[in-house]
Chain A
Amino acid sequence: MGVIGYGLGVIGAGIGIGLAAFGATSSMARQPEMQSRLFTVFILGSAFVEALALIGFVVSLIVK
């Protein structure tokens, strides 16, 4: 059950990281000179989203 719950939870995080990557790539294409700054922001944003997925992972491991 925990694994199924984790799989459901990760859908949201997947959409979130996908949106972040979409925004980053399209804005990099528009303004290539901003690439390095945008990349940092993208990494930062995906770190926030990823944390949510990881909370689900850890909870599904610890809480049996």
Chain B
Amino acid sequence: MDALSKLPEEMDHLVNSFLSQAIVGDTTVGFTQYIFWMFVAIALLCVVIFVFKKKQAASLAPKGLFVNGVEYVIEFARDDMCKSILGDTWKKHFPFIASLFFFILFNNIVGVIPGCHPGTGTMGVTTALALVSFVYFIVVGVKRMGPIGYLKSLAPEGIAFPASVPLWLIELFSTFLRLITLAVRLFCNMFAGHVVMGAFAILASLFVEPLLQSFTVAALPGAATSIFWMLILIVIYAVELMVAAIQAYVFTLLSAVYIQLVENE
């Protein structure tokens, strides 16, 4: 197959285009394309929230698809993530949980639009998000139990002194592991999803190329295969839409669970 021989080269090109590239400055200090799309997502989020506030204030009962839709998502975040996990203390943590959820959700959804990049598709943004969540639950724990009390609470209760030391070390390690897993999970889902979508888009275009260059009967089977790749691309696109919502949910849910762990010690 002639078309398949070009695939590795195109894939390298695709993966390189997904790595962070600086628009201003360089990748250490500067402004990459992912940060640009993150700001686009933030702007979109601000617009949605302010329009929602204005429309909601206009009438006592929620009216119209937009207001009801946004309210539904907010209530989902409140009931499904906050109330069911955090219990009585949900009110204190709801602003944090909700802003985390909406920020990630909007970033992911902006990324699914063809031509855009997700703000969460780079390690920098996801690590920052994970760090925020990490610092938040540690601060909550330290506020509740004091610094020494928090460190002590890492070891599970009801275990005698010498045996609890290795357990404490393992728990400490797993606490820091949460930071890495939160960041890597979100980044990998976004990055891999876009690479897979891009791969099928490349396949579709490679197989239809001979037909566009010269209309011959020999090129027709290739074009027919291209339709098949397009169908797979559409299915994967639908899956990616789902993944965008699920990953925002998973990240926020885990943050809520970590907060609950320190709240209920």
Contact = CB atoms under 8 A, between A and B. Distances in A.
A55 B250 contact: no
Given A61-B15, A61-B195, A62-B15, A43 B188 contact: no
Contacts of B181: 51
Nearest to B195: A61
Interface in B1-50: 15, 19
Contacts, number: 38
Nearest to A61: B15
Given A44-B253, A61-B195, A62-B15, A51 B188 contact: yes
B247 A58 contact: no
Chain B interface size range = 10 to 19
B238 interface: no
Contacts of A57: 188, 192, 195
Contacts of A22: none
Contacts of B192: 54, 57-58, 61
- Secondary structure at chain A's binding surface: helix, strand, loop or mixed? helix
A47 B246 contact: yes
Nearest to B243: A47
B250 A58 contact: no
B189 interface: yes
Interface of B: 15, 19, 181, 184-185, 187-189, 191-192, 195, 243, 246-247, 249-250, 253
Interface of A: 43-44, 47-48, 50-51, 54-55, 57-58, 61-62
Given A44-B246, A47-B246, 7 more contacts: A44-B253, A47-B189, A47-B247, A54-B188, A54-B192, A55-B184, A57-B188
